[in-house]
A and B are shown apart, each in its own frame.
Chain A
């Protein structure tokens, strides 16, 4: 009867744009996971002994967890059991070892990145974005390396960092997310194949936004990347990651780990635009995005800010968090998460206040459409020593249509009576009335929905600028 409802449905059913498959020759290890797989991955990457040992320790820990059925079950998501032996843990486009320039890159891969609109080519230098692109599991090109090197900034693939800067990797790897942290973090530590590494030395402000682009191309593979960013004293860096994947009927696992470390007076801003393949309209296929992201404000006056726009993945399980250890350190989390069709998202943050006068801000906007289920899960913890700590939390939900859901699970734990906590929450719905009103003024149904959604998200932006 009502076409406004149909319109909402149509919008909810828009096709995934990035679902193509690139035809490149790939090299992959057989499916399955055991100590030999780990040794094989480590050998392929010609890793030093300490890495192999760390991986093996992680694998053994994970194997215990798996035996004990310790895969986390507390999240508000549903999926059939994952067969971890039915996944290939390493897939890489075949290529000559050691690329010297982009010209040596498989042109098919370059075309893929062009299709995705990633400024990978050197001529896009004016865009001022340095890109490290991870195709399946391997980092294929890092642009602007030379320019950054002049400032002493290291921006390279994780594999390269292991080879060239083992002392930094050894010092910081696992220092924020240890391999014992959780089931997926253990798995990642065991099998991660590549990722990005950033080190910004003392007093250096990184002059351009650093960016990584992740793409899962191969079928029946998992992508396990690991990112480590260190901002030394007084340094600052802004980092952006984007993700897409082809359309496939089976689910694919993505279990990444991101660790950020900010020393005295350092600042890290980490932004994510996550658009992994979400599955089709019936909920078939799509990426399981089980990710552990955490930053540690180790130094005084340091600041870590997470911004995420989550629109893809069949399932998102992700809590970019801040450990506020240094006095006066600041943690921020700004999130817009959209679930559509049969997507499920359980996402939020943890703010752990350890140091004095630490401050945190959480603004979460969840939008649910179709049969989408969107859960905000957040924890704010004020420890005993965190005198004068403050937190502001705002989480808002917007529902589009009749069959979606929004859920909120805020946990607040305060052990210091000087703490100041604020929590605001709201739930609203795009009504047929609102749509009709905007359409009566000449806006198409699509523009009307996007205006309402923009208005909803802008409230997050206003909050950010007001603070």
Chain B
């Protein structure tokens, strides 16, 4: 029997306000792999991340997406989440009056319930939460603060990775997790991401810059330009980009492969 890829995107076309943003994306990601999607602003990187998480403001005009053999485009956002898809947001959202710990336990239990597992009570959850807080060098005081409220930019990003570490997704999509981080915060976030890397888990790391990839070395790098993947390669491709910029890729795109 042929093993199923964790993520399979075929000929994906996406419109926003009648404007085509993604113009035929093909991508296959297997368990254990880390893929990096790189591209300049406006190339469609974030659109791809949001479409994978099933944000509904996007009009999918053609193509298919399969998550571990299931039709992702037939899923609601919460179903995709329960099927193991996690999106680390570029701009995490604040929720007033709901503590970070309570929110995270509710999310974990929603997913556990979907999978037919027992819900986790506060006493069982606490040690797990503490352990992951420590991994991301986050203050325990954050536990009882409202979700992302009063968090610095770096704390918000760390909080995303904390959530990923606790929810243990099959496929994590990280949308510009490195943006807005200083060098220390970047190191901590990267350490958190590295720690959750596993042969069972795949990651799609969407980023503008190469610097995050110094810490998280991807198996594959794809260059997204104007809604198309114009080049794919190994980690060396990221370095090449860093050196030469995206403009050379545009030329490459113009030349038939």
Residues of B within 8 A of A431 (CB): 93
* Pairwise interchain contact A439-B92, C-beta atoms closer than 8 A: no
Residues of B within 8 A of A3 (CB): 56, 76
Residues of B within 8 A of A454 (CB): 97-98
The listed residue (B54, B78, B80) touching A443 by CB distance below 8 A is B78
The reply on B82 being an interface residue by CB < 8 A is yes
The listed residue (B55, B94, B104) touching A436 by CB distance below 8 A is B55
Q: Which of A152-160, A170-178, A355-363, A455-463 touches B?
A: A455-463
Residues of A within 8 A of B76 (CB): 3, 439, 445
Residues of B within 8 A of A438 (CB): 95, 103, 107
* Pairwise interchain contact A441-B95, C-beta atoms closer than 8 A: no
Encode B6-17 as 1/0 by CB contact (under 8 A) with A: 000000000000
Residues of A within 8 A of B53 (CB): 436, 440
Interface centre among B87, B91, B97, B103 (most CB of A within 10 A): B97
A452 to B149, CA, bound (A): 13
Residues of A within 8 A of B114 (CB): 442
The reply on A84 being an interface residue by CB < 8 A is no
Residue of A nearest to B80 (CB): A440
A221 to B11, CA, bound (A): 64
Given contacts A2-B57, A4-B56, A437-B89, contact A443 B97 (CB under 8 A): no
Residues of B within 8 A of A458 (CB): 97-98
Given contacts A436-B77, A442-B107, A443-B110, contact A1 B59 (CB under 8 A): yes
* Pairwise interchain contact A440-B77, C-beta atoms closer than 8 A: yes
The reply on B163 being an interface residue by CB < 8 A is yes
A439 to B79, CA, bound (A): 8
Residues of B within 8 A of A444 (CB): 78, 110
The reply on B96 being an interface residue by CB < 8 A is yes
* Pairwise interchain contact B82-A442, C-beta atoms closer than 8 A: yes
Interface centre among A3, A442, A444, A456 (most CB of B within 10 A): A442
A432 to B111, CA, bound (A): 21
- How near does chain A come to B223, taking the closest CB pair, in angstroms? 26
The reply on A85 being an interface residue by CB < 8 A is no
The reply on A163 being an interface residue by CB < 8 A is no
* Pairwise interchain contact B98-A437, C-beta atoms closer than 8 A: no
- How near does chain B come to A465, taking the closest CB pair, in angstroms? 13
Residues of B within 8 A of A451 (CB): 95, 98, 103, 106
Residues of A within 8 A of B107 (CB): 438, 441-443
Encode B159-176 as 1/0 by CB contact (under 8 A) with A: 000010001000000000
Report the interface size for chain B: residues with CB under 8 A from the other chain: 34
The listed residue (B96, B98, B167) touching A428 by CB distance below 8 A is B96
The reply on A433 being an interface residue by CB < 8 A is yes
Chain A contact surface mostly = helix
Residues of B within 8 A of A4 (CB): 56
A452 to B108, CA, bound (A): 17
Given contacts A451-B103, A456-B96, A456-B97, contact A440 B110 (CB under 8 A): no
Report the interface size for chain A: residues with CB under 8 A from the other chain: 29
The reply on B179 being an interface residue by CB < 8 A is no
Interface residues of A in 307-335 (CB under 8 A from B): none
The listed residue (A1, A440, A442, A455) touching B98 by CB distance below 8 A is A455
* Pairwise interchain contact B167-A441, C-beta atoms closer than 8 A: yes
Residues of A within 8 A of B57 (CB): 1-2, 432
Interface residues of B in 100-146 (CB under 8 A from A): 103-104, 106-108, 110-111, 114, 146
- How near does chain A come to B56, taking the closest CB pair, in angstroms? 5
The reply on A447 being an interface residue by CB < 8 A is yes
Residue of B nearest to A4 (CB): B56
A428 to B95, CA, bound (A): 11
* Pairwise interchain contact A457-B56, C-beta atoms closer than 8 A: no
Residue of B nearest to A1 (CB): B57
Residue of A nearest to B83 (CB): A442
A445 to B77, CA, bound (A): 9
- How near does chain B come to A153, taking the closest CB pair, in angstroms? 38
* Pairwise interchain contact A443-B93, C-beta atoms closer than 8 A: no
The reply on A86 being an interface residue by CB < 8 A is no
A431 to B94, CA, bound (A): 10
A445 to B94, CA, bound (A): 17
The reply on A434 being an interface residue by CB < 8 A is yes
* Pairwise interchain contact A434-B95, C-beta atoms closer than 8 A: yes
A440 to B53, CA, bound (A): 7
Interface centre among A2, A436, A445, A447 (most CB of B within 10 A): A436
Residues of A within 8 A of B55 (CB): 436
Residues of A within 8 A of B94 (CB): 434
Residues of A within 8 A of B98 (CB): 451-452, 454-455, 458
A445 to B96, CA, bound (A): 17
Interface residues of A in 1-36 (CB under 8 A from B): 1-4
* Pairwise interchain contact B106-A443, C-beta atoms closer than 8 A: yes
Residues of B within 8 A of A441 (CB): 81, 103-104, 107, 110, 163, 167
What 4 A-B pairs are tightest by C-beta distance, nearest first? A455-B97, A441-B107, A442-B110, A439-B77
Residues of B participating in the A interface, judged by any CB pair closer than 8 Å:
53-57, 59, 76-78, 80-82, 86-87, 89, 91-98, 103-104, 106-108, 110-111, 114, 146, 163, 167
Residues of A participating in the B interface, judged by any CB pair closer than 8 Å:
1-4, 428, 431-434, 436-445, 447, 451-452, 454-459, 462
| With A1-B56, A428-B96, A456-B96 already in contact, 10 other A-B pairs whose C-beta atoms are closer than 8 Å | A1-B59, A431-B93, A440-B54, A441-B104, A441-B167, A444-B78, A452-B95, A452-B98, A455-B96, A456-B97
Between-chain CB contacts (< 8 Å), 25 pairs = A4-B56, A431-B93, A433-B91, A433-B93, A434-B93, A436-B55, A437-B89, A439-B81, A440-B53, A440-B54, A440-B80, A440-B86, A441-B104, A441-B107, A441-B163, A442-B78, A443-B106, A443-B110, A444-B110, A445-B78, A451-B106, A454-B98, A455-B97, A455-B146, A456-B97
